[in-house]
Amino acid sequence: MDLTALPKPVLETLSYQEGFSQGTQMAEKIPEELRGKFLEGFRAATTSTLDEEAMLYAAGGHSARQAMQQGLDAPKMLQGMEDQLSEKPAAYSQEEIAAAFQAFQALQQQAQSGAGNDNNAQAAQDNLEMGQAFLKSNADKEAVTTTDSGLQFEILESGVGDKPNATDEVTVHYTGRLLDGTVFDSSVQRGEPVNFPLDRVISGWTEGLQLMSPGAKYRFWIPANLAYGQNAPPAIGPNQVLDFEVELIKVGS
């Protein structure tokens, strides 16, 4: 892409910002007493006083430094360049090269997996602490009842009739939210209630719906240990307290 096609004021602004950004990187990575050398080389290149040989020499040094920072074997890298330019056969077979790339990809995947595990562990701890603090505060509200298991509920509307047993089938409408208000699942939004055996869902639901009669509408706050714990789906996340509004429509199939 040729940036010179841009209007001159736009090109000047972009160029200045790129220089400003590189200046920030220089301030972080290059000792103050050496920064002038970089600027001197840049200025010489823009005024055509730096010949191509010197520029290539500098570029070679920069490439070697990058290779060593990445952990590559710089002398072997140099040998590869020299062999290619002198048209020598490659020092390693295609099988050896393929095996090396496979080992490199495995190392990449391991590093990414490790970072993902660290992030997941931190999220699990953060969510657990936030959930515990919320439940402690929520329990003080007059309308909220906390059961022995730690399940919390508020009666929004009372129902009439027999409450379900743990093995009964129920039909419900519900909306599930995270504590920040994010809706992660909702039969209401889909426009169709769901039917399921009460012993096939998270334990917070199994316990909570046995408190309800048909026609009742409750709001439940389900601690992580009564929901999905650390093995929650990605849309929920580990150790989340779940906020459900549930209407029990019918008991039985």
Mind telling me the catalytic residues?
Answer: 174, 184-185, 202, 228, 244
Please name the residue ranges forming H helices in 71-180.
74-85, 94-138
**In this structure, are residues 93 and 85 in contact, taking their beta carbons and an 8 Å threshold?**
no
Six token digits for residue 18: 């790129």
Tell me the C-alpha distance between 197 and 212, whole Å. Answer: 15
The CA-atom distances, in angstroms, between 239 and each of 148, 175, 202 are 19, 19, 13
Give the residue from 66, 57, 107, 95 showing the smallest Cα distance to 77.
Answer: 66
